[in-house]
Amino acid sequence: MGKESNKQKLPKTAVATENTLAAAARRNFLKKGVLLAAAGSSGVATAETLKVEPWSKQLGRSVVSHPYGMPSPFESNVVRRNVPWLTADTHSSISFTPLHELKGIITPNGLVFERYHAGVPDIDPTAHRLLIHGDVERELVLDMDAITAFPSVTVIRFLECPANGGMEWRGAQMEAVQFTHGMLSCCEWTGVPLKVILQEAGIRPSGKWILAEGADGAAMTRSIPLEKALDDALLVYAQNGERLRPEQGYPLRLFNPGWEGNTSVKWLRRLKIGDQPWHHREETSKYTDLMADGNARRFTWVMEANSVILSPCPEKPWTGQRRPLYEIEGIAWSGRGRIRHVDISDDGGNNWRRAQLKGLHLPKCLTRFSLLYEWDGAPKLLQSRVTDETGYVQPTLAQLRQVRGVESIYHKNSIHTWGLSADGKVRNVQIS
């Protein structure tokens, strides 16, 4: 990660500093001057009439009340949610991150989306072992003490299920960004480079693929090419500082930055090295893309560039008092690297304006974009379109369907459209 700060590959114009954004906002807010109600104006208290609330007149909770803290009870609506009809059972199912409620790029651990196939096991870390076998010089069985004794590395990277947006392939369906894009989170991950562990075992010349297996009841498996293992794959045990959460693979997870979340096998118990992929369920029946000609795309690991507007969105409409200036804000991400730029349209893709990137813009990591926007109160079709550092441009839904048909479930990364009504409400619409 040190190299992230050592050089800057992106053109400077694509990057907003805090200061330029603040300055732009200030100029505009001041010019308009009506965003804020001055004290004493209609319905607004003054220093003299401002109410002293009860919490200013009493003792609160003490320092021993919450050894591990929790959100305010007033934030009880900010939770992961599932879609009851989406899966046959809640033990092989999905919960979605409330992206619209979040700021910055870190997803707090309690809100990271979930996807698993036999429920969440509560694994005793002292009993957990990682077996490394197959085409290796030395078969290894490692406990967590051995794994955490290796020098650690830490990166901030997104994690996305390739089925994210899958419900939208054939038409707009979900009236909530939590469900259209919420199989997506971003955390600080700490672990050991997989290549370090593999070199301890010694890969034989015949070893070209790795089978990763989980210790949950599903014993989920994926075949991983050795190239990824020797590139940036990690064996992670910490997430946003603390140990992995149970639903994220506690105590040990394979993490393949930028790749299908499904390949980042949780509760990792086994790595078998072989000369070819294993063609198990999760890379044949599932996590493949049925094309119009009846063939299926397979091993489509990389999560290609995607973006979505979070303000406004169905759950965060602009229905309050009209303001002269709004901040259109959202997130962009690419499994291939950094975000180069993001463009915004308010007319369904005919005209585009360059957004500003805010804060850190790390590779394979959520990146915030922002556009200060004077909404004239007319209905709009709002879209964001990301271009990543490889030059890949987020496609329209029509372009995606032209190549992939409509039978796919996975890898729907097309430009998303929000219909903003005159009353400020936002609907999920699709433009063919």
CB-nearer residue toward a second copy: 109 or 421: 109
Q: Is 193 in the site for a second copy (CB under 8 A)?
A: yes
Cα(224)–Cα(194) distance, integer angstroms: 12
Instruction: Please tell me whether residue 27 adopts helix, strand or coil conformation.
Output: helix
Q: Is 167 in the site for a second copy (CB under 8 A)?
A: no
For residue 254, which of 289, 211, 291 has the smallest C-alpha distance? 211
- If one counts every other C-beta atom within 10 angstroms of the C-beta of residue 269, the result is 17
Q: Is 324 in the site for a second copy (CB under 8 A)?
A: no
Tokens of 311: 């303000």
Query: Which region, left, alpha or beta, applies to residue 134 given φ > 0 means left and ψ of -120 to 50 means alpha?
Result: left
Residue with structure tokens 């490889």?
Answer: 390
CB-nearer residue toward a second copy: 154 or 402: 154
Cα(381)–Cα(344) distance, integer angstroms: 10
Q: Which residues of 380-394 are buried (b: 16+ CB within 10 A; e: fewer)?
A: bbbbbbbbbbeebeb
- If one counts every other C-beta atom within 10 angstroms of the C-beta of residue 93, the result is 17
For residue 184, which of 119, 94, 266, 268 has the smallest C-alpha distance? 94
Spatial contact of 215 and 250, defined as CB atoms under 8 Å apart: no
Q: Is 399 in the site for a second copy (CB under 8 A)?
A: no
Identify the H or E element spanning 22: helix 18-32
CB-nearer residue toward a second copy: 35 or 422: 35
CB of 75 vs a second copy, minimal distance in Å: 5
CB-nearer residue toward a second copy: 59 or 378: 59
CB of 261 vs a second copy, minimal distance in Å: 15
- Report the residue from 175, 323, 349, 381 that binds a second copy according to the rule CB under 8 A: 323
CB of 66 vs a second copy, minimal distance in Å: 7
CB-nearer residue toward a second copy: 149 or 422: 149
Q: Is 384 in the site for a second copy (CB under 8 A)?
A: no
Q: Is 133 in the site for a second copy (CB under 8 A)?
A: yes
Q: Is 391 in the site for a second copy (CB under 8 A)?
A: no
Spatial contact of 364 and 258, defined as CB atoms under 8 Å apart: yes
Stretch 280-309 residues interacting with a second copy (CB under 8 A): none
CB-nearer residue toward a second copy: 34 or 292: 34
CB of 298 vs a second copy, minimal distance in Å: 27
Judge if the upstream peptide bond of residue 251 is cis by omega within 30 degrees of 0: yes
CB of 418 vs a second copy, minimal distance in Å: 18
Q: Is 53 in the site for a second copy (CB under 8 A)?
A: yes
Strands 268-274 and 129-134: parallel
- Report the residue from 31, 151, 376, 391 that binds a second copy according to the rule CB under 8 A: 151
CB-nearer residue toward a second copy: 80 or 228: 80
Q: Is 241 in the site for a second copy (CB under 8 A)?
A: yes
Q: Is 222 in the site for a second copy (CB under 8 A)?
A: no
CB-nearer residue toward a second copy: 73 or 205: 73
Q: Is 31 in the site for a second copy (CB under 8 A)?
A: no
Tokens of 195: 């290549």
